[in-house]
Chain A
Amino acid sequence: MSPLTPTDSNVLTVSHLNVYAGDHHILRDINLEIPSNRITVLLGPSGCGKTTLLKCMNKLTDLYKELKVSGNIYIGNDDILNTTHNIPAIRQKMGLLSQRPYPLPVSIYKNVAYGLKIKGIRDRKLIDFSVEKHLREVGLWDEVKNRLNAPATSLSIGQQQRLCLARGLAVKPAIILADEPTSALDPISSKIIEHLFREMKRHYTIVLVTHVLRQAIRLADHVIFMCDGRIVEQGSPSDLFSHPQSDELRAYLIDGN
């Protein structure tokens, strides 16, 4: 496969990405494009490297000294993988939503304000405005407006996950990286998150890892199927789900249903 080059409709391009942990080849020559304002779903059996791929995208792999990462990841024309310049700004372009919510050990309000304060914004009115706006965006405002100073941990897990989403949105990312964001949630909270993702497509690009096949079918605009560190198939959901080409994907679809 020839190296991919960045284009306008793709916000993020991964090219020849390889990740090793010692002898273990975790990601093998990954080439992919993330279309903008779409939901790209990453599918694959456990341990195939989905989380690692997401962590490469916002450079959290830097934290793991044992991982050797090579290749390129482009946002626009910038290779974000091979730079050490202004890493916080790169990470701010991507909101991370993890498997379980990790609210910061401060109040609900301060959780959302955190990213703004980090950016150096001090204007109280602006922060107030932004906190309300993003809490509304995730549908949490009415539930928490009377207790903004309560600890974030006093919220239910589903609310905490939405708070984490609002907190991420407040730093104005272009891409949302969501790693099984509903796996710790009850069905109703999961539905809310799914609904939010569908709404958010207008303004953001979403990369979603999920093990719930039905969720993938409901949400995906673009599907990438991985197995054992490799991309086995990628394309439109109708192609992949109705006409799987590989034995791996066929097996995965059967097991998942």
Chain B
Amino acid sequence: MRRIKIIEEKIFVFLSAFMTYSLILVLMFIIGVVFVKGFNALNPDMILKTPRGGYYYGGEGGVLNAIAGSLYIAVGATLIAIFIGLPAALYINVQLIRHRKTQNTIRYFLDALWGIPSIVYGAFGFTLMLFFGMNASLLAGIITVALLISPIMVRTFDEVLSTIPRGLYEASLALGSTRTETAFKVIFRQGFPGFITAVLLSFGRGIGDAASVLFTAGYTDNVPVNLDEPAATLPLAIFFQLGSPIPEVRERAFASAVILTLIILLLSFSARFMAKKYSRTNLR
């Protein structure tokens, strides 16, 4: 009996360790392949130049247009999503505190929104765009991506706020601080690491998504300077270049993928770093 239990335990430990490490291995493998394939095309021009004439046939240039477009769209959408997400999360946690059912219904809907494939958001954004007589543009892309990431923002903010104990709020008020002081000096401070994680998570989702910007942001070889101009994005730049019959261009697709991956890795590392730095003082 005892023997069997021990063997069982060992098998399970082995299995879970195996799964964990194979996941990490797969991740390394993906990054490795992309790096190797894109390595030859990686040069300063890639990030410093926009496509010149004949770029898509192997000519000179880079994907600065897509880097800039992606950053513009992700930053814009993230800002909008913060403005939607923070009040919404506060509403769910403060105003609805006695309404468990409503809270849970709202959370359920937000989770459902979170799960909707981004192409659906793309199609919706496209419809919206036509309805308002807009063209594929930076603005349309920003709005669509904002819609895509808002549920993520609200839910992660919401998670953060719901873990802040009520006693902390009361302790701060009992010391004679006003509600505003409590909100900014205590609640915001306590939630800060979580907020950063939420923002960067949403940003990462926004910058990496192709389907939502496919019809709404359009594509251009220029760095957009106005909201009503079309904007290129990295995921689409990868998509177009990868479809080329010319090997050098396909190589550049991988180089672009490296750039996108680096941006996202950089983000998640800084998120971890900041969250760690600021959670040192936090109540657990």
Binding site for B on A (CB under 8 A): 58, 60, 63, 65-66, 88-89, 91-92, 94-96, 98-100, 102-107, 114-115, 118-119, 151-153, 164, 167-168, 171
Residue of A nearest to B282 (CB): A105
**Residue numbers in B under 8 Å from A114 (CB-CB):** 175, 177, 185
Binding site for A on B (CB under 8 A): 98, 165, 167-178, 181, 185-186, 189-190, 280-284
Q: Once the chains bind, are B98 and A91 in contact (CB under 8 Å)?
A: no
- Pick from A60, A91, A152: contact of B176, CB under 8 Å: A91
With A96-B170, A153-B282, A153-B284: A105-B177 Cβ-Cβ less than 8 Å: no
**Residue numbers in A under 8 Å from B280 (CB-CB):** 151
- Pick from B165, B174, B178, B189: contact of A60, CB under 8 Å: B174
6 pairs from A and B in contact (CB 8 Å cutoff)? A88-B173, A88-B176, A92-B176, A118-B177, A164-B171, A168-B175
With A96-B171, A164-B171: A102-B283 Cβ-Cβ less than 8 Å: yes
- Pick from A60, A105, A119, A164: contact of B173, CB under 8 Å: A60
With A98-B167, A105-B189, A153-B282: A168-B174 Cβ-Cβ less than 8 Å: yes
Residue of A nearest to B166 (CB): A63
**Residue numbers in A under 8 Å from B185 (CB-CB):** 104, 114
- Pick from B173, B178, B284: contact of A63, CB under 8 Å: B173
Main secondary structure of the interface of A (DSSP, over half): mixed
- Pick from B175, B181, B190, B284: contact of A92, CB under 8 Å: B175
Residue of A nearest to B168 (CB): A102
CA of A95 to CA of B186, assembled, Å:
18
Residue of B nearest to A151 (CB): B281
**Residue numbers in A under 8 Å from B170 (CB-CB):** 60, 63, 96, 98, 102
CA of A102 to CA of B164, assembled, Å:
11
- Pick from A58, A99, A151: contact of B174, CB under 8 Å: A58
**Residue numbers in A under 8 Å from B168 (CB-CB):** 102, 104-105
Residue of B nearest to A103 (CB): B283
Nearest-neighbour CB distance to chain A for B54, whole angstroms, equals: 57
**Residue numbers in A under 8 Å from B284 (CB-CB):** 153
Nearest-neighbour CB distance to chain B for A96, whole angstroms, equals: 4
**Residue numbers in B under 8 Å from A91 (CB-CB):** 173-176
14 further A-B contacts with Cβ under 8 Å, apart from A60-B173, A102-B171, A115-B176, are A63-B170, A66-B98, A96-B174, A98-B170, A98-B171, A102-B170, A103-B283, A118-B175, A118-B177, A151-B280, A152-B281, A153-B281, A167-B175, A171-B176
Most buried by B among A98, A115, A118, A167: A118
With A65-B98, A118-B181: A104-B172 Cβ-Cβ less than 8 Å: yes
Q: Once the chains bind, are B176 and A119 in contact (CB under 8 Å)?
A: yes
Residue of A nearest to B186 (CB): A104
CA of A164 to CA of B186, assembled, Å:
14
Nearest-neighbour CB distance to chain A for B274, whole angstroms, equals: 15
Residue of B nearest to A58 (CB): B174
7 shortest A-B CB distances, which residue pairs?
A92-B176, A96-B174, A151-B281, A88-B176, A102-B171, A105-B190, A105-B282
**Residue numbers in A under 8 Å from B175 (CB-CB):** 91-92, 114-115, 118, 167-168, 171
CA of A129 to CA of B283, assembled, Å:
26
CA of A167 to CA of B172, assembled, Å:
10
**Residue numbers in B under 8 Å from A66 (CB-CB):** 98
Residue of B nearest to A98 (CB): B167
Nearest-neighbour CB distance to chain A for B170, whole angstroms, equals: 5
Nearest-neighbour CB distance to chain A for B190, whole angstroms, equals: 4
**Residue numbers in A under 8 Å from B186 (CB-CB):** 104-105
**Residue numbers in A under 8 Å from B167 (CB-CB):** 98-100, 102
CA of A114 to CA of B182, assembled, Å:
11
CA of A115 to CA of B173, assembled, Å:
10
Q: Once the chains bind, are B177 and A88 in contact (CB under 8 Å)?
A: yes
Q: Once the chains bind, are A106 and B176 in contact (CB under 8 Å)?
A: no
CA of A63 to CA of B169, assembled, Å:
10
CA of A26 to CA of B44, assembled, Å:
72
